[in-house]
Structure 1
């Protein structure tokens, strides 16, 4: 490669990584965990650090069996190194997202060229769903990384390239091990191994794909998978089977059966129609998805040329789509692991596509629409009282932040419109990148801190601590994880899975023991008729729920409700780690 071309590629590479770090990292350390999933994972990780028990995840006194612990291990390890929970709870997602981008870029470089690798990276980074999930402390960014790393290793082994001219057994083992780590992050991590299905079929049909199935080293892969899973499974099974408590047997049965096979075969949440993921890809993968109408016929032509570099990622994408379409329960992030391979297959086509008139017009139009909608929405909030603003205020308790939120939308919209005007029709892709980068950076640096108190329950719990005083005791009824996480003191709670009326009876019995110094924080849905609301303190809405603070005087008439013996206070549990309850 000529020196000038190498210099240009180097500049483009540095530009990509600078933008990626800014987009994905903006806001790190500026907010607390937001529901639904973030507080429960952060709470589990904090208890690992506090208790020293990292093998069995707990929330308070109960075992947490909805998800394997690897993600929480990483959060706890990040805190152990950094000492700041606001950074530590988001750091695994950030590093996983950057790792996913590296895998895609390097694989594109090895299969095609350095520039194709960068196009693949941009196609992933600009997709709305990828960046949105990468800026959240959920398990999905980590699972996407493990699955992409597994595909990276498997493809480097089965495809013959100049950098990998023959079998690459270290990559083969890496691919299987990454699938194993994906499995102990979230059970679906093993779907990376579906890549072997089209690879095997292609090899049998004479495509230039090699599995080397008769070679003795072939079994390094399955052994690496078992070893990776065994990092958690073996000590967990030994400890659970050796413990006499039925709680540990229940934990083992729940996490190995109910949360995996049973959940897949008979989903109990998030029912969606069969075409749901087609809608998700058409919308949440924008603007990358805008290239698909031109990419599909181009892919067909390349498959006719018997090019496995397209066949394997595309066939795997299709298999993943079918896999997640079969069960009735579907969530938008389930299809996210397919995005990197879709972007990899799309990347070699992008240089040609982006020279065409209509793809360029769509890119510029998307940027203009994004900036225009944000600007109009912000101005409408600033000068008027639109229905969507009233809804936000009512549901999220944003009375004090509404004007600032309007200003943020105006800033995002103005940046987008300015980007479109500055770059114009001559550089529509630059306008698109600038608009999206501005959106994510402004949201991270301004929007996240602005919404933090109402979204994380920090504002609610600070108000509770201030009202009851430093020496008072606090009990939680019908609570969510963020309340236990954000509390400024040790709190009593009366079960998470228990019905609200049972929690309330236990809470009333606990408060009656010291009515002068004990308070109850109660969700409106759990309030009972015997409570004297003249003495109760309404805290308003937070996380789409109404909350009350009850002193002993408000519950003095509730003696008849204290029929259930007081149980020792324990910490929270949850009915479903994937339930997006919003608060």
Structure 2
């Protein structure tokens, strides 16, 4: 096998000599992967501003038990992520961040911390399966993973959830492999505390998802072992007590405050609704996650696919069996549920990384297998298609090209091509490290420059800027036709939503400084209504943009009545 390039070899050799150095390198890689665009990317409708707005309202109201979006109860997820976001914004206010409560990057900090933790915990979990140099590579591949990079930049639950999941499964792996005498070291006596602590946090973040992942894996392993004795080191009694201590106070408080409606809505409507039908236009057929896998797990997805024959042949070995128990049952559940969102399978990606590395070290990736080079070429073809979409989108929406991004994207494609070349000559480890470099370049080009240049997609920030420049204090705002949550987050909790132009005219006819956003579809009836009311609001500006939700071009007029 051809050796790694000297620079990569020196860095990885140095970092692998101690866990502290390895974690430091992974920390820097994770920041390099996740920070481009982190503070400049606009609030991404619809889920992110819903989470952020609910957290902002907790700070405004001082009520940290109930969860609300404007006047509507938001009883879908537990309170954990809202507490984390509120704490991050409070810290920003204490440090003097201007207008901290409308700075979306502050709400994203828990996601960033969760994504970095997922990378470091992947390294820790992989140490139960492979040597430190390969565990370091596995952590780097998770930092390079497109899906984790997306979740690191969105203020919602899934990056933190992924960290909780990999922590629990890393602890469970040590318990299983120690029982089967496949672990080269004795697990820490605090292993059970990691397992249950991460489970408790996961329960407060997203309910039963983390217990579902390790619970399904336990069932498979217990059936294989024909017993449950191997679970004894996890200390279920103290562990469950810890979970109750952590989660029970809020669950009791929300039950008392809502009269049990939280559980009826979160379990009866949100969770069971996703199981019975595709919610919020997110329906997808079984097999969708496999179809998008080559994009969401890029750049390592192609090599992971090549590891499948190896995993099948050696499926009865304790290490492989554990990883398959981690992946397959939960994957089947996610595929069976009609509601499909790409991030659902993110907690399973560290296990896929482990399988890939085990195949790598055991000669399980055959570059001479029929179709192997074509599969490896996806490392180049997937980002090539993405670059084409980005250039088309920039030109179509804004009649411009992201010139600052082009050198980085071109260099990324060159490195991706070198990945295929390294694979063809048998340098598999070198190919995977080049995958990491290609992902860093892609993130810098796309998030740092290309997305930033798409002004048409920034309707809510541009509308919020018009409020700030309207020239009056304490304005009241109404919108007709454009009702995205990001506009609520950026303009204020009391943003009024009008059903028609007459409602906008009635709003403007009230005392005080008032601003109206009127989408073109409502323009005629709005003009009729203000004429009948004898109003003459001033046209401040007209903004054109594109709303991804619905896929429509919009023209929004901004009127002010001083």
User: What TM-score do the two structures reach when normalised by structure 1?
Assistant: 0.77
Cα drift, residue 255 of structure 1: 2.4
Query: Any gaps of 5 or more consecutive residues in structure 2?
Result: 1-10, 98-102
Aligned to 1:548: 556
Aligned to 2:256: 238
357-366 or 225-234, which deviates more: 357-366
State which of 231, 253, 276 in structure 1 corresponds to 2:288: 276
Aligned to 2:408: 412
Aligned to 2:462: 459
Task: Tell me: CA distance 1:234–1:153, structure 2 relative to 1, closer, same or farther (3 Å).
Answer: farther
State which of 229, 247, 251 in structure 1 corresponds to 2:247: 229
Task: Tell me: CA distance 1:169–1:157, structure 2 relative to 1, closer, same or farther (3 Å).
Answer: farther
Q: Secondary structure at the match of 1:548?
A: strand
**Cα deviations by residue, 1:5-54 (Å, 9 ceiling, x for unpaired):** 97462476654442222112233333442222221211122222222211
Q: Secondary structure at the match of 1:198?
A: helix
Residues 74-89 of structure 1 mapped to structure 2, 5 A cutoff: 74-83=84-93, 84=97, 85-89=103-107
State which of 441, 445, 448 in structure 2 corresponds to 1:442: 445
**Cα deviations by residue, 1:427-464 (Å, 9 ceiling, x for unpaired):** 54444332221111233333454347843621122135
Q: Secondary structure at the match of 1:68?
A: coil
**Contact 1:361 1:428 (C-alpha < 8 Å) held by counterparts:** no
**Cα deviations by residue, 1:266-294 (Å, 9 ceiling, x for unpaired):** 44342211121221224322332212443
Cα drift, residue 376 of structure 1: 6.8
Task: Tell me: CA distance 1:202–1:164, structure 2 relative to 1, closer, same or farther (3 Å).
Answer: farther
**Residues of 2 paired with 1:355 and 1:251: CA distance?**
49
**Contact 2:88 2:109 (C-alpha < 8 Å) held by counterparts:** yes
Q: Secondary structure at the match of 2:307?
A: helix
State which of 335, 339, 351 in structure 2 corresponds to 1:341: 351
**Contact 1:363 1:432 (C-alpha < 8 Å) held by counterparts:** no
145-154 or 519-528, which deviates more: 519-528
**Cα deviations by residue, 1:476-500 (Å, 9 ceiling, x for unpaired):** 334222112222x7754148xxxx3
**Residues of 1 paired with 2:417 and 2:313: CA distance?**
37
Q: Does 1:118 align with 2:149?
A: no
**Residues of 2 paired with 1:541 and 1:125: CA distance?**
33
**Contact 2:461 2:490 (C-alpha < 8 Å) held by counterparts:** yes
Task: Tell me: CA distance 1:218–1:69, structure 2 relative to 1, closer, same or farther (3 Å).
Answer: closer
**Cα deviations by residue, 1:173-227 (Å, 9 ceiling, x for unpaired):** 4323423322332233332222211221122179xx81239x9x43233333333
Task: Tell me: CA distance 1:204–1:529, structure 2 relative to 1, closer, same or farther (3 Å).
Answer: same
Task: Tell me: CA distance 1:421–1:333, structure 2 relative to 1, closer, same or farther (3 Å).
Answer: closer
Cα drift, residue 524 of structure 1: 4.1
Cα drift, residue 338 of structure 1: 1.2
131-140 or 472-481, which deviates more: 472-481
Q: Does 1:332 align with 2:342?
A: yes
**Cα deviations by residue, 1:233-282 (Å, 9 ceiling, x for unpaired):** 122123333xxxxxxx5445212421223432344342211121221224
**Residues of 1 paired with 2:474 and 2:265: CA distance?**
40
| Number of residue-to-residue matches in the alignment | 513
State which of 176, 193, 200 in structure 1 corresponds to 2:196: 176
**Contact 2:125 2:169 (C-alpha < 8 Å) held by counterparts:** no
Q: Does 1:190 align with 2:208?
A: no
Aligned to 1:578: none
Q: Secondary structure at the match of 2:302?
A: helix
**Residues of 2 paired with 1:63 and 1:229: CA distance?**
20
